[in-house]
Amino acid sequence: MSERLRLMAVHAHPDDESSKGAATMARYVAEGAEVLVVTMTGGERGDILNPAMERPDVRENIAEVRRREMDRARDILGIRQEFAGFVDSGLPEGDPLPPLPEGCFALTPVEKAAEPLVESIRRFRPHVILTYDENGGYPHPDHIMTHKVSMHAFDTAGDPDAYPGTGDPWQPLKLYYFVSFPFERFEAITSLLEERGLENPYEEWIKRIRDGGDRPRWEITTRVECGAYFDVAERALKAHETQVDPNGFWFAVPNSVLAEAWPTEDYHLVRSLVDTEVPETDLFAGVRDTVRV
């Protein structure tokens, strides 16, 4: 009997799954893999970033609205999705920064916060896990905590003595960090826009990064070609209506141009319990030789 490949992506809030790795997931679903997104919080403290959705009925029911948005995005991507059940920590602002709200995800002890994720891993039995780096991709408290619980869960889900009562042990084989917005991607897009004589909406953003000096970055070890699924990822992201303005920055360049300039989504291989060689073009490299598919 053959076994289907299984991919799990661990995210902090609804909408993160559609802005990071969405085309990759859509591609693997189309190829027959099972894909599960675990969303650690409900996004209850997220801002409303689309002016058209700044309405009292949305603001007063933001948790329910964001769950409905997640349902639509899930169906568009063809994935499975579940919430881990923690409360959004919000993004503190000010100087000095205010304390995080009591009971939020980012203040939960790592061992406790990892338990529902371990349970999901043991139930779904993923071969590969995707998550954020130690900076969270960007330093939101929930993204940083998502990194911590993902690493802890990867290391303990296969331990029969850890987390009794959460299912039979299961050891994932590989773990990756998202490398979602490599600077080289925007340079490639800029070159193509200039070649075509098109306006570059990233010009000021790129200038700020260049003027900022050295940028910490992860080596791209794995490039998954998925340009054919950029339209699917865009539709999934637009399903999160409170979080993106359909006329905004995210969608200013046509997907056909993006796919021509940089047709991959990119990752950094952090852990591997199977033999593989980098650079890779497949998150399941080495896994396919281990699992009968």
Residue stretches of the annotated binding site: 13, 16, 143
Q: Supply the pTM of this predicted model.
A: 0.96
CA distance 136 to 128: 19
Contact between 244 and 250 under an 8 Å Cβ cutoff? The reply is yes
- Predicted confidence at residue 291, as pLDDT, reads 87
Which residues are documented as binding site for Zn(2+)?
A: 13, 16, 143
Structural contact between residues 34 and 7, judged by C-beta atoms closer than 8 angstroms: yes
pLDDT digits (tens, 9 = 90+) for 244-277: 999 988 899 999 999 999 999 999 999 999 999 9
Paired tokens of 64: 């329910």
Query: In terms of pLDDT, which residue wins out, 109 or 214?
Result: 109
What does the mean pLDDT of the chain come to?
95
Assess contact for 176 and 222: CB atoms under 8 A.
yes
Is residue 136 within 8 A of residue 143, CB to CB? The reply is yes
Which tokens in the block code for residue 269?
Answer: 């291989």
What's the pLDDT score for residue 215? 61
Does the pLDDT of residue 216 top 70, yes or no? no
Straight-line distance from the first to the last Cα atom of the chain, in angstroms, rounded to the nearest whole number: 8
Q: What is the pLDDT of residues 12-68, one digit of tens each?
A: 999 999 999 999 999 999 999 999 999 999 999 999 999 999 999 999 999 999 999
Q: Amino acid letter at 109?
A: P
Categorize the per-residue pLDDT at 1 as very low, low, confident or very high, splitting at 50, 70 and 90: low
List, in order of start, the domains of the chain with CATH numbers. Answer: 6-181+219-290 (3.40.50.10320), 183-216 (no CATH)
Tell me the pLDDT tens digit for each residue of 157-188: 999 999 999 999 999 999 999 998 898 999 99
Please, which residues have CB within 8 angstroms of residue 103's CB and are 6 or more apart in sequence?
87
Contact of 286 with 174, CB cutoff 8 Å: yes
